[in-house]
Amino acid sequence: KAGVTQTPRYLIKTRGQQVTLSCSPISGHRSVSWYQQTPGQGLQFLFEYFSETQRNKGNFPGRFSGRQFSNSRSEMNVSTLELGDSALYLCASRLSSGGHNEQFFGPGTRLTVL
Amino acid sequence: AQSVAQPEDQVNVAEGNPLTVKCTYSVSGNPYLFWYVQYPNRGLQFLLKYITGDNLVKGSYGFEAEFNKSQTSFHLKKPSALVSDSALYFCAVLNSGYALNFGKGTSLLVTP
């Protein structure tokens, strides 16, 4: 099976712009989660989607949003970009929303905000 | 709140020697614990998990971890380190919302 894919791999944006990142989960996986990784804050949970519904949300401002499509593919959007949004954004998928299922991560999208 | 701590920023070990990467947890109830590894410019790769059952969990690439309830620890181990094991290792615990709470990571350097 193909792994989790994320596009684009790299992005450069300027402050105030918005950005959309895409994630395709492993075939058959219905749960998609997003994480932000920065040197200062480490890995932080953004949100999880399951069957097109947001199941859980981390402690991020409303500028961060996401959605999931019927084929389980997910997008996350960041509006009004700030310098502090520069990070590696990781998407992870798992078979179901059950806790015992491990999450499989994609390679990430490296976002740089200038 | 469910959390994990990785007390060491970096661990250095010579190739062929055993390695240990430490993780302690703080949870209410029974923990679901995970180890992931990250190579440069890559995402996280799943190594192993503890859900219930045997305290010694075997995972990918020869890694194993020991769950110790009395010491609230879940240390990652490998009997013989390889240079290719050099990477960033993350311990994580599943929180009540089924999201992973990660430790800050431990950089493992294996020298020839």
- Across the interface, of A6, A100, A103, the residue whose CB is closest to B100 is A103
Residue B13 and residue A32: Cα distance in Å, rounded? Answer: 36
Considering only A34-38, A79-83, A95-99, A107-111, which range has the smallest mean pLDDT?
A95-99
% chain A with pLDDT above 70: 96
CA distance B36 to chain A (A): 10
Closest chain B CA to residue A106: B43
Residue A27 and residue B26: Cα distance in Å, rounded? Answer: 34
Residue A104: list chain B partners with CB under 8 A: 46
Residue A93: list chain B partners with CB under 8 A: none
- Across the interface, of B42, B45, B90, the residue whose CB is closest to A43 is B90
Which of B:65-104 have CB within 8 Å of A? 90, 92, 94, 97-104
Handedness of CA B75, B81, B83, B85 (dihedral sign): negative
- pLDDT per position in chain B (112 positions), as tens? 789 999 999 999 999 999 999 999 998 888 899 999 999 878 899 999 999 888 999 999 999 999 999 999 999 999 999 999 999 999 999 987 788 999 999 999 999 9
Handedness of CA A90, A56, A104, B26 (dihedral sign): positive
Residue A66 and residue B49: Cα distance in Å, rounded? Answer: 28
Say yes or no: B59 contacts chain A, CB-CB below 8 A. no
Take residue A77 and report the two structure tokens written for it: 């959007």
Q: How many residues does chain B have?
A: 112
